[in-house]
Amino acid sequence: MMSGRKIQWACVNVCRMVVALTFILSGFVKAVDPLGTQYKIHDYLAAAGMADIVPDVVTLGLSVLLAAVEFSMGVFLLFAIHRRTVSRLMLAFMVVMTPLTLWLALTDPVKDCGCFGDAVVLTNWETFAKNVVLLVCTFVIFRRPMMMVRFISKTNQWIILNYTVLFILVSSVYCLYYLPVLDFRPYHVGADIKKGMEIPDGAEQPQFETTFILEKNGTRKEFTVDNYPDSTWTFVDSKTVQTAAGYVPEIHDFYMQTLDGEEDVTDKILDEEGYTFLLISPHIEQADDLNFGDIDVIYEYCMDHGYSFRCLTASNEDAIQRWRDITGAEYEFLHADETTLKTVIRSNPGLMLLKHGVVLWKWSHNDLPDLDENAPRLEDTVYGTVKQESFTETVTEIVLWFMLPLLLLTFADRMWAWTGWLRKKKNSNKRYQRLNKKNMRKKIVAGNWKMNMNLQEGVALAKELNEALTADKPNCDVIICTPFIHLASVAQILDKDVIGLGAENCADKEKGAYTGEVSAEMVKSTGAQYVILGHSERRGYYGETSEILKEKTLLALKNGLKVIFCIGESLEEREANKQNEVVKAELEGSVFNLTAEEFKNIVIAYEPIWAIGTGKTATSEQAEEIHAYIRSIIAEKYGEDVANETSILYGGSCKASNAPELFAKEDIDGGLIGGASLKATDFKGIIDAWK
């Protein structure tokens, strides 16, 4: 059965995938169709009565920005980049968007929210339901952001961050300059427009219901056809409402008519057997006229080869005439629906090639075909048949454009970092070898709670530490050593794979009439794996001698406990330059009687007595010097291999601010932490020094 922690982890990462993939899809379909997103923003502004206030350049900028934000946040969430910040931004985004979509669902100012462009069309109520799910998921992520599993190391996150933003902005600009690389609209290349307008036989017809308002003897009532009353009632009014939409063809608003509005030429043009070029401009007064020369060349080409060339626009005749005056256009102009023309092609103007109503090719005005008087007939060019476009191949190409550079950049970054590390470390072969040996040793941060906190406070701290380190895995072994009363309770809370548990002392007797003492066997029975022995406070306040500590060590090892053995000099001994003599004597008197195999269960903690609880700290050079000396005398006793495997911790006012400098030293393998271990944030700050 899964534990509560694992269930939370699973929920967070499932929610993370749902939100990330939704945002990536939503942002990408907006990015590849920035004009379509701009049109949707304009629809919202029109519903709010602001369409004439906000200029087009602003709505286009918002279109590109919205796509970039959604896509980037989705990718950042997918790769767990800046987990806390991104989870907060996601939640804030959904807190704003969910009430907004509820308003859309209730008032229905626009029929389609445009969340996924034309790729996936949702009703406003479907959009609201989707946002409710996303809001719940983002809240789950927000509560436990550090449970999100990273797919890439923290050092490489800058690559994902910068390339993602660059990729999506470049994609939008590319699709804006040319045409969307993916066309989800019904007028895509290969579409048969006339077939898209057909209504199948037997298709569901729209349903209507008429209500009659009648009056009799001063009383008004509503009736339907089914319960229409007798002639004694007087007719007052009636109203008809549509109760069912019926079948709506994929293309239902496409028409072409002459400028005077007297002739609909839609069927005539769609039924033409030859090639037909349609220049599309929803608003010709806003059309880009920089390439009108190329358009005129294509028109002349059509005239030379007997192809049709017309311009479709929703503009009035004055605007059309201005275009003629500017460009010298001689081609025929037809009227069509503005919204339809915006849907047909995302360019103003844009060019579309039809044959018998089938869309063969589409071009932006920035990328017109090279068809001049020297070009062969269409039948003899690639333009004579439907442009070969594979949706799957296009999507694959886009994914490769995004993922392949990321993989290459990440690989290059890792290789550069690795070679740089090698160059730096190999400058000194001896130092390089010693660092390799250091990496063989366990890195440890141990907390010594001393006589602090009641049972409830201790359990609460243990829970907080367990949650923090389970969510953000440490790069070292972590141990907390607690008063005896905490051991059994705390053991039930800790994940042993993340945090080890130790006692602060044990008796020098195995069992018997020793009131108040706690044996090594008792400590082990609580679930503890470690015990601190030889702490200066035990030596100073309770007179523990080297012989007593020798007995305690043997009993601890006999009962399967690992020993954190403390040594260190007083201020007077340091000032007399006797620190080496002191630590050597303390080791020889209590643990150097052990065999080499037994000594492997000893962790040495060097604690200068003058720095414990005083706020004073040995400099990193002082600490490294005596740590190196301690390792040298272990090597003299047990050999280089045992010495290189022994972890030596520093204790004595070690805190988050000085831990990185201390831990960077070759012979310092971690810390035994006193006061700073009583607050989870302070203790974790020291643990994170290993990162």
Residues marked as catalytic:
535, 607
- For residue 625, which of 606, 603, 604 has the smallest C-alpha distance? 606
| DSSP bridge partners of 351 | 279, 363
- Expressed in percent and rounded to 5, the helix, strand and coil fractions of the chain are 50, 15, 35
Residue 675 in marked binding region: yes
Residue 674 in marked binding region: yes
* Per-position DSSP letters for 133-157, written without gaps between them: HHHHHHHHHHHSGGGSPPSS-GGGH
Residue 171 in marked binding region: no
Residue 613 in marked binding region: yes
Distance CA(564)–CA(579), nearest Å, equals 19
Helix axes 124-143, 4-31, angle to 10 degrees: 130
- For residue 118, which of 194, 47, 199, 39 has the smallest C-alpha distance? 39
Residue 448 in marked binding region: yes
Q: Any idea what the Cα angle at residue 441 is, between residues 440 and 447, rounded to 5°?
A: 150
**CB 118, CB 184: distance < 8 Å:** yes
As a whole number of Å, the CA-based R_g of the chain is: 39
Total residues found in the chain within this entry: 691
| DSSP bridge partners of 331 | none
User: Long-range contacts made by residues 396-400, C-beta under 8 angstroms, separation at least 24?
Assistant: 398/171, 398/181, 398/182
Q: How far is CA 308 from CA 111, 304, 325, 352, 364, in A?
A: 36, 11, 22, 12, 19
Distance CA(662)–CA(606), nearest Å, equals 13
What residues contact residue 168 under an 8 Å CB cut-off, 6+ apart? 27, 28, 31, 67, 68, 71, 72
DSSP-derived letter for residue 117 is T
DSSP-derived letter for residue 689 is G
**CB 504, CB 514: distance < 8 Å:** no
* Per-position DSSP letters for 233-266, written without gaps between them: SEEEEEEEEEEE-----SS-S---B-TTS--B-H
Distance CA(226)–CA(239), nearest Å, equals 15
Distance CA(594)–CA(599), nearest Å, equals 6
Distance CA(513)–CA(13), nearest Å, equals 55
| DSSP bridge partners of 63 | none
Per the annotation, binding residues for substrate are: 448-450, 613, 653, 674-675
Q: Which residues does the annotation place in the binding site?
A: 448-450, 613, 653, 674-675
